[in-house]
């Protein structure tokens, strides 16, 4: 499992991804409002911690877990289904941007927990990349989340202009090294 700080940092990246998709230029032309994008962003931040706090029995004084950690609330199929369903309803239902952002954050949480030996239940059983233990290498997780956010924003809003510029710059550097 990634640390709480890593989940919060990746949540902001998930929120930016959700806001970029919600405010896609085609949707903006069809009447998507900036409020939808802000709500998607904030829901992404909240969703990135949701798989953990949804396990807590908030209705009791003890605040113990009501289900085993990394079971139902960490189930990949559920988060992916919410993402697909809410994406389908973007522009058709006012709650869709919130649900979409929440699902982006939830999936980002699962991606952050996946390298841990405990893993996450993507489909049926838990699967782990088994790369490192809890709290280690959070910088890699956060950097990957922000790289994904930059990629999505570049794709959605700028038609890969900056990605192509970065590739061209990399080619130029490689050519300079070979000569």
Q: How far is Cα 136 from Cα 88, in angstroms, rounded to an integer?
A: 36
Lookup: tokens for 74: 């960490």
Q: What is the full per-residue pLDDT of the chain (179 aa) written as tens digits?
A: 567 788 889 999 999 999 999 988 666 655 667 888 899 999 999 999 888 867 766 766 766 666 666 667 888 899 999 999 999 999 889 999 999 999 999 999 988 888 887 778 788 777 677 776 666 678 888 999 999 998 999 888 888 788 788 888 888 888 888 87
What is residue 57's predicted lDDT score, i.e. its pLDDT?
67
What is residue 20's predicted lDDT score, i.e. its pLDDT?
92
The DSSP letter of residue 73 is G
What is residue 44's predicted lDDT score, i.e. its pLDDT?
96
What is residue 139's predicted lDDT score, i.e. its pLDDT?
86
Name residues whose C-beta falls within 8 Å of residue 63's C-beta, 6 or more positions apart in sequence. Answer: 56, 57
What is the domain extent for residue 144?
A: 4-178
Distances (CA, A) of 155 to 9, 13, 25, 52, 136: 21, 15, 11, 31, 31
Distances (CA, A) of 51 to 62, 67, 113, 144, 170: 19, 11, 10, 20, 38
Q: Where are the alpha helices (DSSP H) in the chain?
A: 4-22, 25-29, 34-47, 50-53, 76-88, 96-113, 138-158, 161-178
Global confidence as pTM: 0.81
Which of 99, 103, 47 minimizes the C-alpha distance to 80? 103
Q: How far is Cα 38 from Cα 20, in angstroms, rounded to an integer?
A: 10
Q: How many CA atoms lie within 13 A of 53 on its CB side?
A: 11
Q: Where are the alpha helices (DSSP H) in 60-137?
A: 76-88, 96-113
What is residue 53's predicted lDDT score, i.e. its pLDDT?
67
Our count of domains for the chain comes to 1
């Amino acid at each position: 499992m990634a640390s709480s700080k890593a989940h919060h940092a990746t949540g902001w990246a998930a929120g930016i991804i959700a806001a970029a998709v919600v405010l896609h230029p085609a949707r903006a032309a069809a009447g998507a409002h900036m409020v939808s994008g802000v709500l998607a962003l904030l829901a992404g931040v909240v969703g990135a911690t949701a798989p953990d706090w949804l396990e807590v029995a908030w209705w009791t004084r003890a605040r113990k877990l009501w289900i085993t950690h990394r079971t139902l609330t960490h189930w990949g199929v559920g988060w992916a289904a919410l993402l697909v369903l809410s994406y389908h309803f973007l522009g058709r239902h006012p709650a869709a941007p919130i649900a979409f952002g929440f699902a982006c954050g939830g999936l980002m949480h699962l991606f952050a927990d996946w390298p841990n030996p405990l893993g996450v239940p993507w489909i049926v059983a838990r699967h782990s990349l088994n790369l490192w233990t809890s709290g280690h290498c959070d910088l890699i997780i956060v950097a990957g989340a922000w790289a994904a956010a930059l990629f999505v924003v570049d794709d959605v809003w700028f038609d890969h202009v900056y990605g192509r510029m970065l590739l061209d710059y990399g080619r130029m550097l490689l050519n300079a090294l070979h000569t």
